[in-house]
Amino acid sequence: MVLCTTIMVLSLVFNSPVFLVGLFLVVTSLLFVARVHREFFKRVKALASTVVMAFILWSLFYRWSLFNPSDSTEVILTIGPITLYRLGLIYAVSMPFRVLVMIGAPLLFFMTTTLSELVLAFARVGIPYRVAFTLGLSGKLVPLLENEFKTIKQAQTARGLELDKGGLVKRVRNYIPVLIPLTFRSLELSDQMSIAMETKGFAMKDERTFYKDIEMKRIDYLVVAFSLLALGLGISLRFFGVGIIA
Protein backbone atom coordinates (compact mmCIF):
# COMPACT_ATOMS: atom_id res chain seq x y z
CA MET A 1 0.00 0.00 0.00
CA VAL A 2 2.85 2.33 0.84
CA LEU A 3 4.37 1.51 -2.53
CA CYS A 4 1.17 2.24 -4.35
CA THR A 5 0.66 5.57 -2.60
CA THR A 6 4.27 6.51 -3.29
CA ILE A 7 3.87 5.84 -6.98
CA MET A 8 0.69 7.90 -7.10
CA VAL A 9 2.27 10.82 -5.28
CA LEU A 10 5.35 10.66 -7.45
CA SER A 11 3.21 10.77 -10.56
CA LEU A 12 1.79 14.07 -9.31
CA VAL A 13 5.16 15.43 -8.29
CA PHE A 14 6.81 15.16 -11.65
CA ASN A 15 5.54 16.41 -14.91
CA SER A 16 8.41 15.52 -17.16
CA PRO A 17 7.43 12.86 -19.68
CA VAL A 18 10.62 10.92 -19.08
CA PHE A 19 9.86 10.43 -15.41
CA LEU A 20 6.21 9.62 -15.95
CA VAL A 21 6.96 7.09 -18.64
CA GLY A 22 9.48 5.56 -16.24
CA LEU A 23 6.87 5.31 -13.49
CA PHE A 24 4.42 3.84 -15.95
CA LEU A 25 6.93 1.17 -16.88
CA VAL A 26 7.51 0.36 -13.20
CA VAL A 27 3.77 -0.01 -12.55
CA THR A 28 3.22 -2.12 -15.66
CA SER A 29 6.07 -4.45 -14.88
CA LEU A 30 4.78 -4.87 -11.32
CA LEU A 31 1.34 -5.63 -12.72
CA PHE A 32 2.91 -8.28 -14.91
CA VAL A 33 4.76 -9.78 -11.97
CA ALA A 34 1.48 -9.91 -10.03
CA ARG A 35 -0.23 -11.46 -13.10
CA VAL A 36 -3.04 -8.94 -13.09
CA HIS A 37 -1.98 -7.10 -16.23
CA ARG A 38 -5.01 -8.40 -18.16
CA GLU A 39 -7.37 -6.51 -15.84
CA PHE A 40 -5.27 -3.41 -16.29
CA PHE A 41 -5.27 -3.58 -20.08
CA LYS A 42 -9.02 -4.15 -20.07
CA ARG A 43 -9.49 -0.89 -18.17
CA VAL A 44 -6.98 0.92 -20.32
CA LYS A 45 -8.91 -0.17 -23.40
CA ALA A 46 -12.11 1.24 -21.91
CA LEU A 47 -10.29 4.49 -21.14
CA ALA A 48 -8.42 4.69 -24.42
CA SER A 49 -10.65 7.43 -25.79
CA THR A 50 -10.15 9.53 -22.65
CA VAL A 51 -6.40 9.15 -22.91
CA VAL A 52 -6.36 10.13 -26.58
CA MET A 53 -8.66 13.04 -25.77
CA ALA A 54 -6.27 14.21 -23.04
CA PHE A 55 -3.42 14.09 -25.52
CA ILE A 56 -5.28 16.15 -28.12
CA LEU A 57 -6.62 18.70 -25.64
CA TRP A 58 -3.28 19.26 -24.00
CA SER A 59 -1.48 19.76 -27.27
CA LEU A 60 -4.08 22.14 -28.69
CA PHE A 61 -5.22 24.15 -25.72
CA TYR A 62 -2.07 24.22 -23.66
CA ARG A 63 -1.95 28.01 -23.93
CA TRP A 64 -5.23 28.43 -22.05
CA SER A 65 -4.64 25.81 -19.45
CA LEU A 66 -5.45 26.84 -15.87
CA PHE A 67 -2.46 24.94 -14.59
CA ASN A 68 -0.08 26.60 -16.99
CA PRO A 69 3.00 26.87 -14.82
CA SER A 70 5.14 29.06 -17.06
CA ASP A 71 4.94 31.61 -19.78
CA SER A 72 7.05 29.70 -22.23
CA THR A 73 5.65 30.33 -25.68
CA GLU A 74 8.16 28.46 -27.74
CA VAL A 75 6.33 27.43 -30.88
CA ILE A 76 7.17 24.33 -32.90
CA LEU A 77 4.53 24.32 -35.52
CA THR A 78 1.78 26.56 -36.83
CA ILE A 79 -0.89 25.32 -39.19
CA GLY A 80 -3.42 28.02 -39.89
CA PRO A 81 -5.11 28.90 -36.61
CA ILE A 82 -3.59 25.91 -34.79
CA THR A 83 -0.38 26.54 -32.93
CA LEU A 84 1.58 23.74 -31.34
CA TYR A 85 3.73 24.84 -28.44
CA ARG A 86 6.76 22.87 -27.43
CA LEU A 87 5.57 22.72 -23.82
CA GLY A 88 2.07 21.79 -24.84
CA LEU A 89 3.34 18.79 -26.67
CA ILE A 90 5.42 17.67 -23.73
CA TYR A 91 2.43 17.99 -21.43
CA ALA A 92 0.33 16.11 -23.92
CA VAL A 93 2.72 13.19 -23.72
CA SER A 94 3.04 13.16 -19.94
CA MET A 95 -0.60 13.65 -18.94
CA PRO A 96 -1.94 10.37 -20.39
CA PHE A 97 0.88 8.54 -18.64
CA ARG A 98 0.01 10.25 -15.40
CA VAL A 99 -3.59 9.05 -15.80
CA LEU A 100 -2.42 5.53 -16.57
CA VAL A 101 -0.16 5.45 -13.52
CA MET A 102 -3.01 6.72 -11.35
CA ILE A 103 -5.19 3.84 -12.59
CA GLY A 104 -2.51 1.18 -12.50
CA ALA A 105 -1.16 1.79 -9.01
CA PRO A 106 -4.41 1.35 -7.05
CA LEU A 107 -5.34 -1.55 -9.29
CA LEU A 108 -2.06 -3.22 -8.40
CA PHE A 109 -2.97 -2.88 -4.77
CA PHE A 110 -6.61 -3.99 -4.93
CA MET A 111 -6.01 -6.89 -7.28
CA THR A 112 -3.29 -8.37 -5.11
CA THR A 113 -4.84 -7.77 -1.70
CA THR A 114 -8.11 -9.24 -0.51
CA LEU A 115 -10.33 -7.20 1.76
CA SER A 116 -9.77 -9.55 4.67
CA GLU A 117 -6.00 -9.19 4.27
CA LEU A 118 -6.41 -5.45 4.35
CA VAL A 119 -8.50 -5.64 7.50
CA LEU A 120 -5.93 -7.94 9.05
CA ALA A 121 -3.12 -5.56 8.12
CA PHE A 122 -4.96 -2.63 9.67
CA ALA A 123 -5.49 -4.61 12.85
CA ARG A 124 -1.79 -5.61 12.88
CA VAL A 125 -0.53 -2.06 12.75
CA GLY A 126 -2.61 -1.25 15.80
CA ILE A 127 -5.84 0.14 14.43
CA PRO A 128 -8.70 -1.14 16.67
CA TYR A 129 -10.28 -4.20 15.07
CA ARG A 130 -13.73 -2.63 15.14
CA VAL A 131 -12.54 0.27 13.02
CA ALA A 132 -10.56 -1.98 10.69
CA PHE A 133 -13.53 -4.32 10.29
CA THR A 134 -15.89 -1.47 9.49
CA LEU A 135 -13.50 -0.24 6.81
CA GLY A 136 -13.38 -3.70 5.28
CA LEU A 137 -17.13 -4.12 5.58
CA SER A 138 -17.88 -1.01 3.59
CA GLY A 139 -15.88 -2.51 0.75
CA LYS A 140 -17.94 -5.68 0.84
CA LEU A 141 -21.27 -3.94 1.20
CA VAL A 142 -21.09 -2.09 -2.09
CA PRO A 143 -21.44 -5.11 -4.41
CA LEU A 144 -24.08 -6.55 -2.10
CA LEU A 145 -26.24 -3.44 -2.27
CA GLU A 146 -25.65 -3.17 -6.00
CA ASN A 147 -27.24 -6.60 -6.36
CA GLU A 148 -30.18 -5.61 -4.19
CA PHE A 149 -30.63 -2.46 -6.26
CA LYS A 150 -30.80 -4.52 -9.45
CA THR A 151 -33.36 -6.95 -8.06
CA ILE A 152 -35.58 -4.17 -6.74
CA LYS A 153 -35.38 -2.34 -10.04
CA GLN A 154 -36.49 -5.49 -11.83
CA ALA A 155 -39.32 -6.12 -9.36
CA GLN A 156 -40.69 -2.61 -9.91
CA THR A 157 -40.21 -2.76 -13.67
CA ALA A 158 -42.37 -5.88 -13.61
CA ARG A 159 -45.07 -3.68 -12.03
CA GLY A 160 -44.97 -1.33 -14.97
CA LEU A 161 -42.52 1.22 -13.62
CA GLU A 162 -40.65 2.99 -16.43
CA LEU A 163 -37.49 4.52 -15.04
CA ASP A 164 -36.33 6.35 -18.17
CA LYS A 165 -39.58 8.14 -18.89
CA GLY A 166 -40.37 11.83 -18.53
CA GLY A 167 -38.34 14.93 -17.83
CA LEU A 168 -35.55 15.30 -15.31
CA VAL A 169 -37.80 15.81 -12.25
CA LYS A 170 -40.06 12.94 -13.29
CA ARG A 171 -37.07 10.68 -13.75
CA VAL A 172 -35.77 11.41 -10.28
CA ARG A 173 -39.24 10.74 -8.88
CA ASN A 174 -39.33 7.45 -10.79
CA TYR A 175 -36.58 6.16 -8.54
CA ILE A 176 -38.58 6.57 -5.33
CA PRO A 177 -40.18 3.08 -5.58
CA VAL A 178 -36.67 1.67 -5.95
CA LEU A 179 -34.91 3.68 -3.26
CA ILE A 180 -37.41 3.08 -0.47
CA PRO A 181 -37.24 -0.73 -0.60
CA LEU A 182 -33.46 -0.43 -0.97
CA THR A 183 -33.27 1.60 2.24
CA PHE A 184 -35.36 -0.92 4.12
CA ARG A 185 -33.41 -3.83 2.69
CA SER A 186 -30.08 -2.33 3.74
CA LEU A 187 -31.43 -1.80 7.26
CA GLU A 188 -32.65 -5.38 7.27
CA LEU A 189 -29.29 -6.62 6.01
CA SER A 190 -27.28 -4.68 8.57
CA ASP A 191 -29.61 -5.95 11.28
CA GLN A 192 -28.99 -9.52 10.18
CA MET A 193 -25.29 -8.85 9.93
CA SER A 194 -25.10 -7.50 13.47
CA ILE A 195 -26.85 -10.61 14.76
CA ALA A 196 -24.46 -12.82 12.82
CA MET A 197 -21.49 -10.87 14.21
CA GLU A 198 -22.72 -11.09 17.77
CA THR A 199 -23.32 -14.82 17.56
CA LYS A 200 -19.71 -15.09 16.44
CA GLY A 201 -18.51 -13.17 19.45
CA PHE A 202 -17.55 -9.95 17.74
CA ALA A 203 -17.87 -7.81 20.86
CA MET A 204 -15.79 -10.09 23.09
CA LYS A 205 -13.49 -8.31 25.51
CA ASP A 206 -10.64 -10.85 25.29
CA GLU A 207 -7.70 -10.33 23.01
CA ARG A 208 -8.47 -11.27 19.48
CA THR A 209 -6.73 -14.09 17.66
CA PHE A 210 -6.84 -14.65 13.92
CA TYR A 211 -7.45 -17.75 11.87
CA LYS A 212 -5.18 -16.49 9.15
CA ASP A 213 -2.33 -14.31 10.20
CA ILE A 214 0.05 -12.10 8.33
CA GLU A 215 3.45 -11.05 9.40
CA MET A 216 5.82 -8.40 8.11
CA LYS A 217 8.65 -10.30 6.45
CA ARG A 218 12.02 -8.87 5.61
CA ILE A 219 10.97 -8.26 2.04
CA ASP A 220 7.96 -6.28 3.24
CA TYR A 221 10.15 -3.99 5.33
CA LEU A 222 12.47 -3.61 2.36
CA VAL A 223 9.62 -2.60 0.06
CA VAL A 224 8.30 -0.08 2.59
CA ALA A 225 11.78 1.34 3.17
CA PHE A 226 12.46 1.54 -0.53
CA SER A 227 9.12 3.23 -1.18
CA LEU A 228 9.66 5.84 1.51
CA LEU A 229 13.17 6.45 0.22
CA ALA A 230 11.89 6.88 -3.33
CA LEU A 231 9.18 9.22 -2.09
CA GLY A 232 11.67 11.35 -0.17
CA LEU A 233 14.10 11.37 -3.05
CA GLY A 234 11.36 12.28 -5.51
CA ILE A 235 10.13 15.21 -3.47
CA SER A 236 13.59 16.58 -2.84
CA LEU A 237 14.48 16.18 -6.51
CA ARG A 238 11.49 18.29 -7.36
CA PHE A 239 12.76 21.03 -5.06
CA PHE A 240 16.01 21.03 -6.95
CA GLY A 241 14.11 21.28 -10.18
CA VAL A 242 14.86 17.86 -11.57
CA GLY A 243 12.10 16.09 -13.42
CA ILE A 244 10.21 19.29 -14.00
CA ILE A 245 9.83 20.90 -17.36
CA ALA A 246 9.97 24.65 -17.71
Partner 1 sequence: MDPIIKTEKLCFSYDGASFAISDISLEIYRGEAVSIIGPNGSGKTTLVKHFNGLLKPTSGRVFVNGMDTRKTTTAELARTIGYVFQNPNHQIFSNTVLDEVVFGPKNVGFKDAEKLAIASLESVNLGDKVDASPFSLSLGEKERLAIASLLAMQPDILILDEPTTGQDYSTCLAIMNLASNLKRLGKTMILITHDMDVAAEWTDRVFVLSEGFLLRQGKPSEVFSDFDFLQSIHLSPPQMLKVGRLLGFESVYMSVDELAGRLKSEISQLYKSGIVFS
The alpha carbon torsion through 73, 74, 75, 76 (nearest 10 deg) reads -150
What gap in Å lies between CA 62 and CA 85, rounded to an integer? 8
172 binds partner 1 (CB under 8 A): no
Instruction: Please identify, using beta-carbon distances, which residue of 164 and 206 lies nearer to partner 1.
Output: 164
Which of 184, 210, 221, 226 forms a contact with partner 1 (CB under 8 A)?
Answer: 184
The alpha carbon torsion through 51, 54, 55, 56 (nearest 10 deg) reads 120
Minimum Å gap between C-beta 185 and partner 1 is 6
Question: Contact 74/63 with Cβ under 8 angstroms?
Answer: no
Count how many Cα atoms sit within 13 Å of the Cα of residue 209 in the half-sphere of its side chain. 1
Instruction: Please identify, using beta-carbon distances, which residue of 163 and 228 lies nearer to partner 1.
Output: 163
181 binds partner 1 (CB under 8 A): yes
Return the range that interacts with partner 1 (CB under 8 A); candidates 157-165, 191-199, 203-211, 237-245. 157-165
Which of 83, 177, 223, 224 forms a contact with partner 1 (CB under 8 A)?
Answer: 177
Instruction: Please identify, using beta-carbon distances, which residue of 26 and 148 lies nearer to partner 1.
Output: 148
Instruction: Please identify, using beta-carbon distances, which residue of 184 and 221 lies nearer to partner 1.
Output: 184
Main-chain phi, psi angles of 158, to 5 degrees = -65, -20
176 binds partner 1 (CB under 8 A): yes
Which of 5, 148, 193, 223 forms a contact with partner 1 (CB under 8 A)?
Answer: 148
195 binds partner 1 (CB under 8 A): no
185 binds partner 1 (CB under 8 A): yes
CA distances from 214 to 160, 189, 220 (A): 52, 30, 11
Q: How many positions of this chain bind partner 1 (CB under 8 A)?
A: 19
45 binds partner 1 (CB under 8 A): no
What gap in Å lies between CA 101 and CA 105, rounded to an integer? 6
What gap in Å lies between CA 52 and CA 103, rounded to an integer? 15
- Mapping DSSP to helix (H, G, I), strand (E, B) and coil, where does residue 236 land? helix
* Nearest-10 crossing angle of helices 129-157, 115-124: 160
The residues that touch partner 1, with contacts defined as CB under 8 A, are 148, 151-152, 154-162, 176-177, 180-181, 184-185, 188
